[in-house]
Structure 1
Amino acid sequence: MHLIFATSMVPDGTPKSGYEIANAAVLDALTRAGCRMSVMGFAWKGREERKIADGTVVLGELEPRTEAASGLTKLGWLARAMMRGMTFSSAKMLRASPGDVRRALEGFGRVDGVIFNSVQFAGAFRQVFADLPCIYVAHNVEHFSALQSADAARGLVGRFMFRREARLLKALEADLCAQARFVYTLSEDDRRLLGVDDDRRSAVLPLVAHAPAVSGPGERQTTHDAALIGTWSWAPNRIGLDWFLEEVVPHLPEGFRIAVAGDAPADLAQRHGRVTFVGRVPDAVEFVRSGMVVPLISRAGTGVQLKTIETFELGLPSVATQSALRGISHKPENCIVADDPRAFAEALVRAAKKPVDLDGRAFHMAQRKALDTAILHGLDQAGFNRRDKAA
């Protein structure tokens, strides 16, 4: 069974964002299921030390982060989106033409089907694959996240753009779900929001991130009371960060050491002097292990929070909102749940005073087993015959 994994960003051997980690987990599970996988998409512009796997076609380089692109580039994306009546995120994909994509597809030889990985690539090029049966991997309910971002936007232009994205994304997601022989989501709620909550139509993929760490109390070198990392340019993540900084941090005692990693606007450091913003870090795992406790602060979005899965695999103590636990079937004992800002702050203080690390291997193994089961179920329902059973 030869399947094409059609994605915005191709794996390059160094998964850093949650999206890339999820892609690696899904591709590995499909390979374990006996599928021959080929990949098509764009390479991350400017990233060094790429390791593009055999069977991957790179259609060009792309800077996926809107905030990192030049003003002229953003205007070009916006113009293409308006002219083509497509989403801003799909307009970025038009660095390649449908003809380029078609020639790349023909170069793979015989293909049995396509897996559309999220909406961005499919929104630009799905007509090229119209003759192939498809599976859709919904990382999020994108239109719902766009609506949440519109509500949180602080300017008229931002609200207009997010509402436009939401309207177009809702139609695109409905189209993809209707076309697909099967839909994979990353949380149970997303099946309902997409209207595919039928076991014959969809399944939830419990993801894995890194190999679990094994450590006990006192075995980590900690330099912060709380350490959190994320892609803060993504609007749903920024909503959670703003909530944490503006509503939780004021309830924390003076001297409580908080470090935030990941790209963040400079004005945040100016407005929140009690928090240390360290920018991008060379090793995300070592950074979160440097905190006594990990705050899991999601307040918006859909899909699953990869930072939650990573934290649980590493066995680290955490305080989480209910939103941060979406898509998680088992909560470790060293995770405290709190949605009220004061309660969240109090839980952080308690956890930081006596951090309790767990062995994350049981969580990792349970997630991987459930992931393989869901992948096999979807392939069977889609009529894609496999060579082997999952390992």
Structure 2
Amino acid sequence: MHLVFASSLVPCGAPESGFDIANHAVVGALRRAGVKVTHFGFKWPGVELADPDNTVCLGEIDPKTDTASTKQKLLWLAKAIANGTTFSSAKLKVMDDQALRAAYEKIENVDGVVLNGVPLAGAFEKTLTAKPFIFIAHNVEHISAQANAKAASSVIEKLMFQREAKHLEKLEKRLAKKAQFVLTFADEDRAPLGVDGDERSLCLPLVTPKTESYKDGRIKAFDIGMIGTWTWAPNRIGLEWMLQEVMPHLPDGITIAIAGKLPKGFPRRDKRVQFLGRVLNAKDFLRQCRVIALTSREGTGVQLKTIETFEMGLPAVATHSSIRAIANLPSNVRVADTGKEFARTLADHVLDVRTNVIGDIDGSTFRSSQIERMDEILQTALNKMSGK
């Protein structure tokens, strides 16, 4: 079987973002199932393709909103309104439908398509849904847009997110209805897409890229660690909750390190917190922390940093939102949802790690179970797409 993996961005370099890591896991599972995969989409400017022999690149594009100029954002919005598309799809309308169709039709012996998220599919829906397809919903994007609208800091921003949510909901439900099968990364995401029955959709477990195993003991420089792209609204909501609702209840002697890109002008509000910015190696950073705080409050899909933490066998405290899509919780993970309860659980967990009451566990069992289930579910999706 030969499938086109249609995505806004094709793989470039080692997978780093949650989007890249999820794509890497899905494509790996497809290839384990014997599928030939051809990547199809745009690439980041000035970077090398990770899999050039199996990639059809449509050109270079930088779709990041947070670093775009006001002029560029207005151009994207105007294009979205003119084309009746989402803001995210408008960013990819840098070529016309005929040019994209010509690039697509050059790929030989295609049996079907994997629509990886909604942006590219929304921009070129007619071409990309002409053959049987599997729709992968990384998140329920219209729910995320609704949450962003609630958290918007201006009336204009609120109206933009409300418009995006309206268009995204129609697009997501339309793609889910037309697809031969839908894969989500959390069970809770299936119902909002209108495909909550197992005959139409399933939740796909994920893993992170395999790295070296650590045999030496780790040097714990920080009591609590957090890592993420904090410019993304759902992540920022979790960070703000940690700083505003959890921190006031933590003992003074506990140290906290936060790695990852922050929004411009983000205030440094507590001397106990060290903001490290982007770190060179996420796993090396996590290994320096006694306990990982997983603080998701909003959003859909799966939290890749949760999976990474569990694969490494690190002690953690998580909200229920952070462990959505996780069937088997590791023994050294605790769950709490209110600020006061989360702070108390964190403090207790840090003390237990400091005194060796609890420590790291072997995360390979968690990873193996994820891979086994992933392969089973993906085979079900492939069978549905091929009419078996």
Would the TM-score normalized by the shorter structure come out above 0.5?
Answer: yes
Paired position in structure 1 for 2:182: 183
- The alpha-carbon deviation at position 125 of structure 1 amounts to 0.8
* Deviations 1:20-69 (CA, angstroms, capped at 9, x unpaired): 100000011111111111011111235x5653331101112222321122
- The alpha-carbon deviation at position 212 of structure 1 amounts to 6.7
Q: For 1:92 and 1:272, how far apart are their aligned partners in 2?
A: 38
Is 2:236 aligned against 1:238?
Answer: yes
Does the aligned pair in 2 maintain the 1:319–1:336 contact within 8 Å? yes
Seen in structure 2, the aligned counterparts of structure 1 residues 92 and 273 have a Cα distance that, compared at 3 Å, is farther
Which AA in structure 1 matches 2:14?
Answer: T
- The alpha-carbon deviation at position 214 of structure 1 amounts to 5.3
| Structure 2 residue matching 1:271: 3-state secondary structure | coil
| Structure 2 residue matching 1:265: 3-state secondary structure | coil
Q: For 2:63 and 2:287, how far apart are their aligned partners in 1?
A: 28
- The alpha-carbon deviation at position 274 of structure 1 amounts to 3.2
List alignment gaps of at least 5 residues for structure 1: 386-391
| Structure 2 residue matching 1:137: 3-state secondary structure | strand
Percentage of matched positions with identical amino acids: 47
Seen in structure 2, the aligned counterparts of structure 1 residues 384 and 281 have a Cα distance that, compared at 3 Å, is farther
Seen in structure 2, the aligned counterparts of structure 1 residues 157 and 351 have a Cα distance that, compared at 3 Å, is same
- The alpha-carbon deviation at position 96 of structure 1 amounts to 2.9
| Structure 2 residue matching 1:6: 3-state secondary structure | strand
Does the aligned pair in 2 maintain the 1:213–1:315 contact within 8 Å? no
Does the aligned pair in 2 maintain the 1:212–1:364 contact within 8 Å? no
Q: For 1:306 and 1:315, how far apart are their aligned partners in 2?
A: 14
Which AA in structure 2 matches 1:371?
Answer: M
| Structure 2 residue matching 1:5: 3-state secondary structure | strand
Paired position in structure 1 for 2:304: 306
Seen in structure 2, the aligned counterparts of structure 1 residues 321 and 308 have a Cα distance that, compared at 3 Å, is same
Paired position in structure 2 for 1:14: 14
Paired position in structure 2 for 1:168: 167
Q: Which has the larger displacement, 124-133 or 313-322?
A: 124-133
Aligned length: 383
Is 2:26 aligned against 1:26?
Answer: yes
* Deviations 1:53-102 (CA, angstroms, capped at 9, x unpaired): 31101112222321122222222211211211111111111123322321
* Deviations 1:298-356 (CA, angstroms, capped at 9, x unpaired): 00111111111010001011000000010000100111100011111122122222321
Seen in structure 2, the aligned counterparts of structure 1 residues 103 and 49 have a Cα distance that, compared at 3 Å, is closer
Paired position in structure 1 for 2:325: 327
- The alpha-carbon deviation at position 206 of structure 1 amounts to 0.5
Seen in structure 2, the aligned counterparts of structure 1 residues 322 and 212 have a Cα distance that, compared at 3 Å, is farther
Which AA in structure 2 matches 1:374?
Answer: I
Paired position in structure 2 for 1:159: 158
Paired position in structure 1 for 2:94: 95
Of 349, 352, 355 in structure 2, the residue corresponding to residue 354 of structure 1 is 352
Paired position in structure 1 for 2:375: 372
| Structure 2 residue matching 1:336: 3-state secondary structure | strand
- The CA RMSD measured in Å over matched residues stands at 1.7
Question: Which one has more relative contact order, counting CA pairs under 8 Å at least 6 apart?
Answer: 1
Calculate the TM-score normalised by the size of structure 2: 0.94
- The alpha-carbon deviation at position 190 of structure 1 amounts to 0.9
Q: For 1:199 and 1:266, how far apart are their aligned partners in 2?
A: 43
Does the aligned pair in 2 maintain the 1:214–1:358 contact within 8 Å? no
List alignment gaps of at least 5 residues for structure 2: 354-358
Paired position in structure 1 for 2:356: none
Does the aligned pair in 1 maintain the 2:10–2:42 contact within 8 Å? yes
Seen in structure 2, the aligned counterparts of structure 1 residues 334 and 212 have a Cα distance that, compared at 3 Å, is farther
Of 246, 249, 252 in structure 1, the residue corresponding to residue 250 of structure 2 is 252
Q: For 1:76 and 1:274, how far apart are their aligned partners in 2?
A: 42
Q: For 2:43 and 2:270, how far apart are their aligned partners in 1?
A: 35
Of 338, 363, 366 in structure 1, the residue corresponding to residue 366 of structure 2 is 363
Of 218, 225, 228 in structure 1, the residue corresponding to residue 226 of structure 2 is 228
Does the aligned pair in 2 maintain the 1:144–1:302 contact within 8 Å? yes
Which AA in structure 2 matches 1:312?
Answer: F
- The alpha-carbon deviation at position 154 of structure 1 amounts to 2.5
Q: For 2:263 and 2:182, how far apart are their aligned partners in 1?
A: 36
Q: For 2:192 and 2:35, how far apart are their aligned partners in 1?
A: 29
Does the aligned pair in 1 maintain the 2:25–2:209 contact within 8 Å? no
Paired position in structure 1 for 2:384: 381
Seen in structure 2, the aligned counterparts of structure 1 residues 213 and 318 have a Cα distance that, compared at 3 Å, is farther
| Structure 2 residue matching 1:94: 3-state secondary structure | coil
Calculate the TM-score normalised by the size of structure 1: 0.94
* Deviations 1:216-235 (CA, angstroms, capped at 9, x unpaired): 8x911121111111111211
